[in-house]
Structures are given as C-alpha cells and as structure tokens.
Amino acid sequence: MGKAKMLMLLAAVASPVTATAKEPLDAAGLKAIETRVPPQSWYPDGYYDIRIAAEGQVADFPRETLTMDWGDGQPPYYDVIDCNAEYVSLDETDPLTARYGPVALEVARLRGEFERMKYPLAVYAGPLLEFEKAKIEEAKTAPEPVSEAEMSDAMAMEASAAADAAVAEAAADAAAAADAASMEAAPPADGGMDEAETYNDPYFLLAKAVEANRERLAPKLPKVLADGGCGAGEGSSVIVKTVPPQGEVLLINAFAFKVCTRKKPDPWDRFACKWNEIETGVEKPLSGRYVYQVKWPDGTVRKGTRDIVPNYEDEAVAAVVTFKKVGS
C-alpha cells in the first residue's frame, strides 16, 4: 500500500463518524422555494424568511390525512383547520418568529395541501392571500410573545380568576334569582366564538371563498369547510435516551432551525441557533418536531429530524425517545 493511501486510511479511521439520518432542508433547498412563493409588498420586515422556512417545514412534515370522512354517507371534505397545527414559542426561537411563525406555518400548510389535492390555483390563491393578510394583522396587534413559563403562569392566573368568578356568581345566584336574559347573552361556557365572531374568523372566510370558487371551477374536488372542533389532552412528559448511553443530545425546534438556516451560515453551530442540550434519562416536557444532533464520546455524530410525541393514552406514563448511534 502506498504512503499516500496509508495516510488517507489512518485519517479516515481517526476522524469522527457522522451517522446518516434524514436531515432537514438546507439553505439551497429553502432558496429554491422562493420561485414558488414570491414575497408580497405588504409583508412585514423579516417575515419572508419565516414564510420560506415555513414552506420547508411543511415539505419536511406534511400532514398525512387531508380529508375527513365520518362514514355517514356524505362525501369526504377538506377542513382548513388543522387541530395539530404547529406552534413555536419564544423559548425556541426569536421574538419575530414567535410572533409571525404561526401565521407563516398555517399559510404554508394550506397552500401545500390545496396543491396536493389538485385544487386549481384560481380556486384558492386569492382567498389564501386575503387569509394571510388578515392573520398578519392579527399577529401585529397581538400581545408580545412570551415564554412557556410565562404562558403557564398566565393560564394559571386565568384559571384562578375564572374559579373566583364562578364562586362569586354562585353566591349571587343564591342571593337573588339570576336574570334569564343575561344568562342567555353570556358567552359560551367553553370559551368558543359566538356566531358573529365565527363569520368574521379568517378560517371561516377562507373556507367560504374557496368553496365558492370550487363549486364553480372544480366541483368534483372535496368540499371545503372550516369545521375544527379540536380538543386534546396535555400529554405525558418525555424521557430521552441514547444507545449506547453517554450521548450528548442537542435539540432545536425544526421550524426554528429552518428560520436560522435562512439567517446563519452554519445552523448546526450550537451557539448560532437556539439549540438546547437535553438531559438524558430525566422526564422533560417535550412535544413537537425537532432537529437533533447527538454526539458520543468516540466522536460519532448523528443528525436528523424527529417528531416527538408524548403519551396521550396515559399521561402518567412518560414516553421514551431513543437516539441510536447505529440504525433507526
């Protein structure tokens, strides 16, 4: 064996090994999306990068089932509301992405799903732009994004205030008969929207406009509705493990990673983006789509994407997520 070949072999043996796995779209892949999703003059500063990242996220994690069929003899329909719509918190990204990320993700999801189901562009393009405008305006005037801890505190305070109000109302009812008319005018107990709010909701307006176009231009395609009716438990905590043990696990929200890819030359740099080191073997509140990089003491690095799902059947039993040096 020649000296040059020997040196190459020794270098290969000594170098850390990167185990292969499905990796998220890179900067070039995100750049290519721009041809399909041009910027709009009314986009807020910084929103376009978020919008393109959202398209990449939907490409990496498409929704599997797009139509609903209740088995009641009615044809399947498409619901513009996704009960598992993605959310990114301030803990996982920057304030601008925390504000506009949910809008961009929903617009990208809807555009991709209309396209996958072969709805003509003339059916949904105009209504979807109006939907995007409305949701951006909502985001502009929304309160400042908060961390998960701040959100939990706010929800606890709201729950406490609601409980106090319920006690006060019960005491008032016991003291004097409640006015039946005022009871009927009270908002729904589940905090849902009243009829007027429903008809002004951007999802309802989107579905109404797209459905009108569908009836004219593509009547054979599934009917479009804004149905919703979402509801789910919190889910269990999650325990992260590595095989073999002693792997260092870094996670970042997959959407936040794509936004960072648009802005930073090396999004895999743990200090360039909002990577979080996860303690293994300990219960953590984890849920969602993540990009990971795991490094073992021998230098082996495994990178990829992972959808982390808590245990919804028994929230008392933690779900276990395992990252392996070899295999899936």
Q: So what's the pLDDT on residue 234?
A: 78
Q: So what's the pLDDT on residue 292?
A: 97
Tokens 């569908």 — which residue?
A: 214
What b/e sequence results for 236-246 when a residue is b if at least 16 CB atoms lie within 10 Å of its CB, and e otherwise? Answer: bbbbbebeeee
Distance between start and end Cα atoms, the chain: 36
Q: Which amino acid is at 150?
A: E
What b/e sequence results for 108-126 when a residue is b if at least 16 CB atoms lie within 10 Å of its CB, and e otherwise? Answer: bbbbbbbeeeebeeebbee
- Whether 303 shows a pLDDT value over 80: the answer reads yes
Tokens 């606890």 — which residue?
A: 156
Domain locations in the chain? 3-22+234-324, 34-145+192-225
- Which burial class, exposed, middle or buried, applies to 324 when counting CB atoms under 10 A from its CB (0-12, 13-18, 19+)? middle
Tokens 């991709």 — which residue?
A: 112
139 or 7, which is more confident: 139
Q: So what's the pLDDT on residue 168?
A: 63
Question: Model pTM greater than 0.85?
Answer: no
Q: So what's the pLDDT on residue 175?
A: 58
pLDDT in tens, 86-101: 878 888 899 999 999 9
Q: So what's the pLDDT on residue 16?
A: 41
Span 34-54, mean pLDDT? 97
Joined tokens for residue 300:
């082996």
- The number of residues in the chain equals 328
pLDDT in tens, 236-275: 999 999 999 999 999 999 999 999 999 999 999 999 999 9
Name which of 24, 146, 21 is nearest 88 in CA terms: 146
Highest mean pLDDT among 41-55, 89-103, 141-155: 41-55
Q: So what's the pLDDT on residue 327?
A: 79
CA distance 161 to 175: 21
H or E stretch including 125? helix 121-141
